[in-house]
Amino acid sequence: MSRILAFFLPLFLVVSCSFDGQRKFLYLEGFTQGTSYYIAYNSPDSVDYHEELKEIFREIDYSMSIYNPSSIISRVNNNDAGVKADDYFINVFNRAQEISEKTGGAFDITVGPLVNAWGFGFTERENITPKLIDSLLQFVGWEKVGLEGRLLVKDDPGVKLDMNAIAKGYTVDVVAEFLDSKGITDYMVEIGGEIRLKGTNKDDNMWRIGIDKPVEDPAAVSRELQEIVQLTGKSLATSGNYRKFYIQDGQKFAHTIDPESGYPVQHNLLSATVVTSTAKDADAWATAFMVMGPEKSIEMARSKPDLEVYLIYDINGVSAVAYTEGFGEMIKK
């Protein structure tokens, strides 16, 4: 039995230019939510906000990290009757439910039991059988949970939440709003591949972001760019099934789980890049599109003026692309 596990790496690159010496950018790096972050902002007074931002990361980790046994989400998953949701949790939960409804359940934070069973959560991978999947599907469904004030109410104690597909994007938004509150007009905030941009880069040009070709290269040794996009005042997220997966008995199992079937998606969509106003929305929609597949995704994106999407998919071993008109205008010619 062969097994290869590919770990997460950001699915884009920040394309840098030379420094002209006229702008004072600070660069902050570190790790949070099991991944890396990179923040760049223009600070003429060279004010370093790293400690304040680390505190934001700690607060959000306490709220929504499934890897922290003391977090609010972990206590909710363990049916702690005394746990109350904080504002971070409530904001993310409410937006997740809204996107679940819009996507017909393609995005669903109750997918936690399935993510764990397939080995992409915080527990060991189980022996997958149709019987096991059927038994877990009874606990999956965004309509099976709700908030009453600050208390989360479940239809069944077996329901477990996993906010990983929206929490990083939300954290990006919180950091961006913190920088806004400090009067910062030029910044880039990136956490684990979710990104939000404002103003211009260190050369006073629009930000340039490179989207990776979907090559199965877990260590990202030979990364190649599919496209470079230029944008500002927007958020961007890419979801793909070519970095986080394992192969068992010759079959590939990727980390994107279809909440309806209970199985990892098997269609030909390789990656979905979404541009919209907030990083939490870009994060969630990119995941939803990976569940929905290329045809449904491009149709839905074109029906929503606030969403732009770039899809890379496979046709008989050859990569093809589809994108909305607005996204095409962002591509650097």
Q: What CATH number has the domain bearing residue 310?
A: 3.10.520.10
Please report the pLDDT score of residue 225 as a whole number.
86
Q: How many CB atoms lie within 10 A of CB 210?
A: 18
Task: Establish if 174 belongs to a structural domain.
Answer: yes
Task: Establish if 154 belongs to a structural domain.
Answer: no
DSSP string, 146-168: EEETTEEEESSTT-----HHHHH
Task: Establish if 216 belongs to a structural domain.
Answer: yes
Task: Establish if 148 belongs to a structural domain.
Answer: no
Task: Establish if 325 belongs to a structural domain.
Answer: yes
- Backbone phi and psi for residue 136, each to the nearest 5 degrees, phi listed first: -80, -30
Task: Establish if 286 belongs to a structural domain.
Answer: yes
Q: What is the dihedral of CA 52, 53, 59, 61, to 10 degrees?
A: -150
Please report the pLDDT score of residue 68 as a whole number.
92
Please report the pLDDT score of residue 213 as a whole number.
85
Residue 292 carries which side chain, given as an amino acid letter?
M
The number of domains in the chain is 1
Please report the pLDDT score of residue 15 as a whole number.
44
Q: What is the pTM of this model?
A: 0.89
Distance of alpha carbon 103 from alpha carbon 50, whole angstroms: 36
Helices (H), the chain: 50-64, 72-77, 87-102, 112-117, 130-137, 164-181, 279-292, 294-302, 325-330
Q: What are the 10-residue block averages of pLDDT along the chain, 333 residues in total?
A: 33 43 86 93 94 98 94 96 96 98 96 87 81 96 97 96 96 98 97 96 94 70 81 95 63 79 89 97 97 94 94 89 95 79
Q: Using alpha carbons, select from 218, 217, 309 the residue that is nearest to residue 272.
A: 309
157-192 burial, b at 16+ Cβ within 10 Å, e below that, comes to eebbbbbbbbbbbbbbbbbbeebeeeebebbbbbbb
Q: What is the dihedral of CA 312, 313, 316, 320, to 10 degrees?
A: -40
Task: Establish if 130 belongs to a structural domain.
Answer: no
Task: Establish if 89 belongs to a structural domain.
Answer: no
- Positive or negative: CA dihedral 142, 148, 150, 151: negative
Domain carrying residue 35: 12-63+161-330
Strand partners, 321: 312
* Beta carbons of 22 and 44 less than 8 angstroms apart: no
Please report the pLDDT score of residue 240 as a whole number.
84
Q: Which residues contact 156 (CB under 8 A, 6 or more apart)?
A: 138, 139, 144
